[in-house]
Chain A
Amino acid sequence: MAIADLELEQRARPQEGFGDWVARRGTAFWVVAALLLVMPAIASPFWLVQIIAYAMILGMIALSLMFLAGYGGIVSLIQMTVAGFAGYLVAILGGSAITQISLNWPWWTAVPVAMLVATLFGTLSGALSVRTEGIYTIMITLAIASAFYYLTLQNYTIFNGFSGFNGILPPVFLGIDWGQSLPFYYLTLACAALAYGAVIYVSRAPFGLALQGTRDNPRRMAALGFDVVAHRIAAYTFASLIAASAGVLLVWYQRQISPGTAGVGPVVDMLIIAVVGGLSRPIGPFIGALVYVLLRTFALDVLEGVGLDGRRYQLLIGLGFLVIVLFSPDGLIGIFQRLRERYRRGRDARDSQMGTGGGTP
């Protein structure tokens, strides 16, 4: 019912102009967008690539998790594995320093094939895990993810075992070396923006609305004639595509890939990033990723600065995560929204007081 109404509403709405479109995004959106675009003028290459670009790559992987969890109600831990698999495929099909395994395909065949196969893998894992519901999904996807990790660790013929692949170079295309910090930053920014826009678009498209319906009440959706399982599997496919593209960027960023890239730690870290940022909106994972990368990079210095053991940053991440989960289930976004609500309510209260006191002019 609700979906049909919404669709009608969308169709009935008159075509909005460009000005409306700009205004509807809000000030914060444009400020952040402008800031990200001119970032190379402000930030050093270290900040540009090691912090912001890396955070955007992790944010994209966490975004795919957020899409599944936030809109589909499926908490999948497979996303980092899909990204890692795409990265491995780029290393195997494209060029790397491990010449006896790498096939040295040109990047414009290696990358699409890698993304396609990784997406297929994500879809198949999804098809396997949607057979069970709710909390079981975490267990099954975690089991699949760890199976992939141990496979890459033990297999030397395809995945080159413990040492993995190194010397994977980003391509040179249109005369630009995309491994340079400036082009790489803009490439990552474009991909992240595309993924962000795609998630927002899909969440408002009929498919996304139906998916949110299956999250809220799968029985009712099935009764309405929607194929719940097919919607969930399609959601996995879409999320896997985002994760796979992020995986390609990740392997170009790291220039190497090893079992640890998609190990159990990073797999769980993606969930932490998405939850800390907030699972309710697509911007959440990016915020979570930025916090995570900042913590990872600077926790050692900060901890030692205040006289603690710098190696305990994992403890810090664990405690921070626990605090967020216990006190703000919708993450940093939730905290921000609550603060804003309180501020707005305070202002409204003041306004109404002034209104009753002095009367409107």
Chain B
Amino acid sequence: MSDFVARRPIWSLIILLALAILAWLVFSIWTPGMEAMFGRKRVFLSALFNGITLGALYFLVASGFTLIFGLMRNVNLAHGSLYLFGGYVGYSVGEWSGSWLVALLAAFLLVAIVGILMQLLLFRWMEGQDLRQTLVTIGLSIIFADLLLWSYGGDTFQVTAPEWLSGPVTLPFAVALRSNGEAVMMTYPLVRIAILIGAIIVGVLMWLALNRTRVGMLVRAGVDDRDMLSATGVRVQLVFVMVFAFGAGLAGLAGVVGGTFQSLQPGEDTRILLSSLVVVIVGGMGSIPGAAVGALIVGLAEQFGSVYMPTYAVMLTFLIMVAVLAVRPEGLAARR
């Protein structure tokens, strides 16, 4: 952190300034002039929070995607299918057991097992053949999509959030002033805040696991040079299976999370896959902090885009990707 400040003083200043302006926008009471410019403060704030929580969901999906890509050079285009599968599993288990946490756990484990099978039965036998692996994942995504359509139909499902997470919570930001001078406070669904906190915890744990444990060391070494790692006597296949299982499991987990505050239906798999593609391209392929930054940017861009310029919302996300590719083709957080 201090290293970054020392190396890039101007950028740090700009980031600090932007954060300060944002904080002021969030905490201040808006003047009529500002409301004319940005619309109502409630709209702005909910776009901001929706963007951040959407970013949390994207981070959960994309971190698995980027981990698998970074270590195995496998562009897993079936990742969206794993997300949707996890969501459906979460829905079924949640309906059966009545517990959201059990649904989360079941989705994580089941999708992780699918990931293990994919790695053991298919990708293990075509190591180093990037294109072939990608083609196989395309075939798998088509098969998964049709199997899921077969068993769950085209209806929309929603995972029910548990009692203790339902309902709104009041945040300490004033949205507007009533005529008698009393401040109207911002309210926001608790479940979304819980998901944001959950994603942050997952991210921090993942960072700790990657940077402070032996397995994490092996994974990082594998990302840098796979052949050298296996030459030192590490059972690199085992590391691959574990990473694939964990990445797939995260996608399944994210499926339940997404099914709770969005909905599950056919077609959601490609939408999520594309979002995580953009997240990973923007953030830098194979980097967890990159996935976090990319997810936040894409989530915010989607929400602000759909609030302030509805017909061109996608173009905003796309333009961000183009700009990043033009300036830093390897992504924002990639090491040079």
With A131-B329, A143-B321 as given contacts, are A322 and B136 in contact (CB-CB < 8 Å)? yes
Q: How far is the CA of A329 from the CA of B146 in the complex (A)?
A: 24
The distance from the CB of A136 to the nearest CB of chain B, in whole angstroms, is 7
Please, how many angstroms separate the alpha-carbon atoms of A329 and B75 in the complex? 18
Contacts of A275 in B (CB 8 A): 135
A129 to B277, CA, bound (A): 14
Q: For residue B264, which residues in chain A have a CB less than 8 angstroms away from its CB?
A: none
Instruction: Report if A318-B329 is in contact (Cβ < 8 Å); known contacts: A144-B318, A147-B318, A154-B310.
Output: no
Q: How far, in angstroms, from A272 to B136 measured CA to CA in the complex?
A: 11
Give Cα A272 to B143, complex, Å. Answer: 13
Residue of B312, B318, B330 with most chain A CB atoms under a 10 A cut-off: B318
Q: How many of chain A's residues touch chain B, expressed as a range? A: 35 or more
From A139, A150, A315, A325, give the contact of B281 (CB < 8 A). Answer: A139
Task: Determine how close the nearest CB of chain A comes to the CB of B290; give it in whole angstroms.
Answer: 14
> Shortest beta-carbon distance, A100 to chain B, in Å?
16
Return B135 CB to nearest CB of chain A, in Å. Answer: 5
The answer to the question of A55 belonging to the interface, with a C-beta cut-off of 8 Å to chain B, is no
* B131 contacts A by Cβ under 8 Å: yes
Given contacts A135-B75, A140-B281, contact A128 B315 (CB under 8 A): no
Query: Bound complex: CA of A264 vs CA of B134, how far in Å?
Result: 16
Contact with B along A248-272 (1 / 0, CB 8 A): 0000000000000000100010011
Beta-carbon contacts under 8 Å, A48-77 to B: 75
Q: Are B139 and A325 in contact (CB under 8 A)?
A: yes
A318–B143 touching, CB < 8 Å:
yes
> Which residues of chain A from 138 to 153 have any CB-CB distance to chain B below 8 Å in the complex?
138-140, 142-144, 146-147, 150-151
Answer yes or no: A317 CB below 8 A from chain B CBs. yes
A142 touches B329 (CB 8 A): no
Contact A128 B139 (CB under 8 A): no
Most chain B beta-carbon contacts within 10 A, residue among A140, A157, A275, A325: A325
Question: When the two chains form their complex, are residues A318 and B281 in contact, meaning their CB atoms are under 8 A apart?
Answer: no
A132 beta carbon closer than 8 Å to chain B: yes
One of A142, A154, A317 near B314 (C-beta < 8 A) = A154
A: which residues have CB within 8 A of B?
75, 128-129, 131-132, 134-136, 138-140, 142-144, 146-147, 150-151, 154-157, 264, 268, 271-272, 275, 309, 312, 314-315, 317-319, 321-322, 325-326, 329
Interface residues, chain B, with chain A CB atoms under 8 Å away: 73, 75, 77, 122, 130-132, 134-136, 138-140, 142-143, 145-147, 149-150, 270, 274, 277-278, 280-281, 285, 310-315, 317-318, 321-322, 325-326, 329-330
A-B contact pairs, 5 of them (CB 8 A): A131-B326, A147-B318, A264-B270, A314-B146, A322-B143
